């Protein structure tokens, strides 16, 4: 177990003080632990399809949960689950998962496609999905090491228009698909899936 | 990993007091006490999680897990073993991972609890505890079905505890002739894994459709309705001709002589209903009524219902102090007896046990259930619920407007995705337990 900073400990101790006097409803660990059965212990999924959510920013988690709750973002099961929580609880979940480091588990990828995907990433995606898609910056999520079936589902939803893309992404994706077709998308997904860290 | 250890807590307390914090003196006094010993009985979906998460939350607590078997076969996805979609070995797990978390694993059978001496009694001796967590699952009430017992289950398997029983049922299905009749006797409520008998019928139908297409499945049910009934019925229509003369699956509710009352194991005949209707099967799978696991009775943890009443916030038994009961055996009001419920309860219980040993108050609990069933090829369905503790603390109740079933209008693509998420559920929940 990594050592906590005094800052974190203080913050949590603050919560504990509250808990003895009033209801401290949204405990990050309590809420985060309920997700592990599908998203993996501390949010790192062992696959094959449920995405890892460890290491995402608090905002990314909160926005995703809100979008699931409202139905704005399509899902099989997450919409049903997100409806069970308040905004305050989303924030607590976000706090929990933003403090976890994503553990990447190996998946089988096509080396040639991954190589091609790396080039396509640099050309079309790197500007927003920085450092090879390893960092979640302003809601870009972490793509590197993410489970490929999940990435495929996400792109299917984006392309079908059931999930809204940011304008910039839409433009870049259209350009990429015009030039490379579905094979380009497949290469990109193999690239992200092949990244070990 | 944002749980704080006692050391951090004291450090933080000191810092926070220095910073003008208001931590109560009794809390510090308790927190500075002994780390504590926890004995967990039962290494399944609840017990394995409680043991591991207590260690994750406070590694100074000594945790001993008492488990009868050297390894564990999950009930989840065991129906895919019956259809031949996966091997028995793929649902087998060992306790090596838990040892890696510092859990002391003892292979022994727990026989009782001496609550005065605070000792768990086992076939390998006595284990003292400050807190005990009992997660014994269910025991089968053989005596509710005449002629049925453990010996008969070798010929007429229940397969409601995975492992050798699963292997027996699979073998019988493999050996059955095309045109044979499989009879599944489904139990009365409450029982482990409410959608289980119907997913089982689905998986066996999947096997028969592809291998022995002249064969039939008859579900004889002690109930008038069942879990995910609309979705199963829809799936059976889509895949197995349900409702037509050629349907692979037929379901007989309690009103149509469905309730099993007896078994003739030698002839694989089921006796059911008020008219003692006899149904001769080629493969007979009898799932009897259930009650809390044996140790719960021996330890005085059960009430008249045959299940274990608990404090819904901490899962501490209301009958025996400092002993917690989680999983199928506990009375968790609205939460079903499912693997994910046990997982969720294990974590709430771990939080409560750690808080108690650290002299802190238990925080507000949060619980979830998520359950997938695989009806056939590329055909997954699910149910989910988010639970909260009611104001009066008496009920773990589902949040209104949340959770629920896969919509019946779900597309084929969505159902296919649910299969991949079902497999992900399996991999992640078992990794959460044993990894």
Nearest CA in chain B to A9: B12
**A103 in reach of chain B (CB within 8 A):** no
Which pLDDT does position A11 carry in this prediction?
46
**A50 in reach of chain B (CB within 8 A):** yes
**B401 in reach of chain A (CB within 8 A):** yes
Are A20 and B27 in contact (CB < 8 Å)? yes
**B4 in reach of chain A (CB within 8 A):** yes
- C-alpha–C-alpha distance, residues B345 and A38, integer Å: 15
Asked if A123 and A191 touch (Cβ cutoff 8 Å), the reply is no
Q: What is the pLDDT along chain B (435 residues), one digit of tens a residue?
A: 344 444 444 444 444 444 433 443 333 333 344 589 999 999 999 999 999 999 999 999 999 999 999 999 999 999 999 999 999 999 999 999 999 999 999 999 999 999 999 999 999 999 999 999 999 999 999 999 999 999 999 999 999 999 999 999 999 999 999 999 999 999 999 999 999 999 999 999 999 999 999 999 999 999 999 999 999 999 999 999 999 999 999 999 999 999 999 999 999 999 999 999 999 999 999 999 999 999 999 999 999 999 999 999 999 999 999 999 999 999 999 999 999 999 999 999 999 999 999 999 999 999 999 999 999 999 999 999 999 999 999 999 999 999 999 999 999 999 999 999 999 999 999 999 999
Q: What is the pTM of this model?
A: 0.91
At A150, the pLDDT band (50, 70, 90 cuts) reads very high
Written as six digits, the tokens of B423 are 């497999």
Are A77 and B2 in contact (CB < 8 Å)? no
Asked if B310 and B332 touch (Cβ cutoff 8 Å), the reply is yes
Are B2 and A42 in contact (CB < 8 Å)? no
Contacts of B311 (CB under 8 A, 6+ apart): B317, B318, B393
Kindly report, residue by residue over A91-125, the tens digit of the pLDDT: 999 999 999 999 999 999 999 999 999 999 999 99
3-state class of A86 per DSSP? Answer: coil
Strand partners, B260: B272
SS3 for chain B is CCCCCHHHHHHHHHHHHHCCCCCCHHHHHHHCCCCCEEEEECCCCCHHHHHHHHHHHCCCCEEEEEECCCEEECCCCHHHHHCCCCCHHHHEEECHHHHHCCCEEEECCEEEEECCCCEEEECCEEEECCEEEECCCEEECHHHCECCCCCHHHCCCCCCCCCHHHHHHHHHHHHCCCCCEEEEEECCCCCCCCCHHHHHHHHHHHHHHHHCCCCEEEEEECCCCCCCHHHHHHHHHHHHCCCCCCCCEEEECHHHCCCEEEEECCCCEEEECCCCEEEECCEEEECCCEEECHHHHHCCCCCCCCCEEECCCCCEECCCCCEEECHHHEECCCCCCCHHHHHHHHHHHHHHHHHHHCCCCCCCCCEEEEEEEEEECCEEEEEEEEEEECCCCCCEEECCCCCEECCCCCCHHHHHHHHHHHHHHHHHHHHHHHC
Written as six digits, the tokens of B388 are 């909260």
Q: Using CB atoms, which residue from A38, A85, A95 is nearest to B370?
A: A38
Q: Using CB atoms, which residue from B410, B423, B428 is nearest to A39?
A: B428
Mean pLDDT of A128-157: 96
Nearest CA in chain B to A92: B2
Are B402 and A33 in contact (CB < 8 Å)? no
Minimal CA separation from B195 to chain A, in Å: 17
**B20 in reach of chain A (CB within 8 A):** no
Task: Please give the residue that has the higher pLDDT: either A12 or A176.
Answer: A176
Task: Please give the residue that has the higher pLDDT: either A15 or B162.
Answer: B162
Which pLDDT does position A196 carry in this prediction?
84
For residue A71, the surrounding DSSP H or E stretch is none
Kindly report, residue by residue over A158-182, the tens digit of the pLDDT: 999 999 999 999 999 999 999 999 9
Q: What ipTM is given for this predicted complex?
A: 0.90
3-state class of A56 per DSSP? Answer: coil
At A197, the pLDDT band (50, 70, 90 cuts) reads low
Mean pLDDT of A128-135: 96
Are B401 and A83 in contact (CB < 8 Å)? yes
Q: Using CB atoms, which residue from A9, A38, A42 is nearest to B1?
A: A42
At A138, the pLDDT band (50, 70, 90 cuts) reads confident
* Integer CA distances (angstroms), B408 to A162, B203, B329, B380, B415, in order: 19, 20, 32, 12, 10
CB atoms within 10 A of CB B194: 20
| Helix, strand, coil % over all residues of chain A, rounded to 5 | 60, 0, 40
Are A9 and B4 in contact (CB < 8 Å)? yes
**Set of chain B residues whose Cβ sits within 8 Å of the Cβ of A149:** 420
Written as six digits, the tokens of A29 are 């660990």
> To which residue do tokens 């926005």 refer?
A63
Which pLDDT does position B25 carry in this prediction?
38
pLDDT for residue A54 is more than 80: yes
**A18 in reach of chain B (CB within 8 A):** no
Count Cβ–Cβ pairs < 8 Å, chain A vs chain B: 179
């Amino acid at each position: 177990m990594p050592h906590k900073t005094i800052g974190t400990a203080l913050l949590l101790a603050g919560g504990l003080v509250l808990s003895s006097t009033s209801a401290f409803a949204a405990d990050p660990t309590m809420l985060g632990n309920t997700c592990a059965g599908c998203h993996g212990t501390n949010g790192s999924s062992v696959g094959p399809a449920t995405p890892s959510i460890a290491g995402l920013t608090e905002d990314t988690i909160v926005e995703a949960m809100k979008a699931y709750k409202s139905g704005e973002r399509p899902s099989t099961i997450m919409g049903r689950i997100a409806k069970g929580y308040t905004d305050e609880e989303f924030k607590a979940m976000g706090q929990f998962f933003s403090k976890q480091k994503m553990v990447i588990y190996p998946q089988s990828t096509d080396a040639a496609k991954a190589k091609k995907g790396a080039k396509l990433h640099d050309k079309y995606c790197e500007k927003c999905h920085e450092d090879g898609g390893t960092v979640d910056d302003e809601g870009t999520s972490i793509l590197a090491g993410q489970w490929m079936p999940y990435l495929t589902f996400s792109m299917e939803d984006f392309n079908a228009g059931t999930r809204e893309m940011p304008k910039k992404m839409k433009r870049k994706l259209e350009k990429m698909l015009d030039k490379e077709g579905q094979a380009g998308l497949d290469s990109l997904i193999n690239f992200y899936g092949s990244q070990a860290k | 990993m944002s749980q704080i250890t006692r050391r951090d807590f004291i450090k933080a307390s000191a810092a926070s007091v220095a910073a003008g914090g208001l931590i109560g003196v009794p809390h510090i006094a308790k927190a500075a006490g002994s780390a504590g010993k926890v004995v967990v009985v039962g290494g399944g979906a609840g017990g394995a999680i409680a043991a591991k998460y207590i260690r994750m939350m406070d590694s100074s607590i000594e945790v001993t897990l008492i488990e009868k078997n050297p390894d564990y076969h999950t009930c989840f996805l065991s129906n895919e073993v019956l259809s031949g979609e996966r091997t028995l070995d793929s649902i087998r797990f060992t306790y090596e991972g838990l040892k890696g978390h510092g859990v002391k694993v003892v292979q022994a059978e727990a026989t009782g609890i001496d609550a005065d001496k605070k000792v768990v009694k086992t076939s390998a001796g006595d284990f003292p505890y400050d807190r005990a967590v009992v997660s014994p699952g269910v025991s089968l009430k053989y005596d509710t079905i005449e002629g049925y017992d453990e010996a008969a289950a070798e010929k007429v398997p229940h397969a409601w505890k995975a492992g050798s029983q699963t292997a027996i049922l699979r073998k019988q299905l493999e050996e059955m002739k095309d045109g044979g009749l499989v009879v599944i006797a489904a139990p009365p409520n409450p029982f482990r894994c409410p959608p289980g008998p119907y997913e089982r019928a689905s998986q066996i139908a999947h096997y028969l459709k592809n291998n022995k297409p002249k064969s039939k499945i008859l579900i004889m049910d002690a109930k008038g309705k069942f879990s995910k009934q609309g979705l199963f019925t829809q799936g059976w229509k889509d895949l197995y001709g349900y409702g037509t003369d050629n349907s692979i699956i037929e379901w007989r509710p309690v009103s149509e002589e469905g309730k099993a009352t007896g078994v003739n194991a030698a002839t694989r005949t089921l006796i059911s209903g008020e008219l003692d209707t006899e149904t001769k099967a080629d493969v007979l799978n009898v799932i009897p009524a259930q009650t809390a696991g044996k140790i719960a009775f021996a330890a005085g943890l059960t009430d008249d219902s045959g299940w274990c009443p608990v404090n819904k916030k901490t899962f501490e038994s209301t009958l025996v102090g400092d002993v917690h009961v989680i999983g199928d055996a506990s009375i968790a009001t609205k939460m079903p007896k499912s693997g994910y419920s046990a997982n969720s309860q294990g974590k709430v219980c771990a939080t409560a046990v750690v808080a108690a040993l650290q002299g802190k108050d238990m925080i507000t609990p949060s619980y979830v259930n998520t359950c997938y069933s695989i009806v056939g090829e590329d055909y997954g369905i699910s149910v989910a619920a988010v639970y909260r503790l009611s104001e009066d603390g008496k009920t773990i109740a589902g949040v209104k407007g949340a959770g629920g079933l896969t919509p019946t209008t779900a597309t084929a693509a969505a159902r296919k995705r649910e299969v991949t998420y079902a497999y992900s559920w399996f991999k992640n929940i078992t990794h959460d337990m044993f990894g």
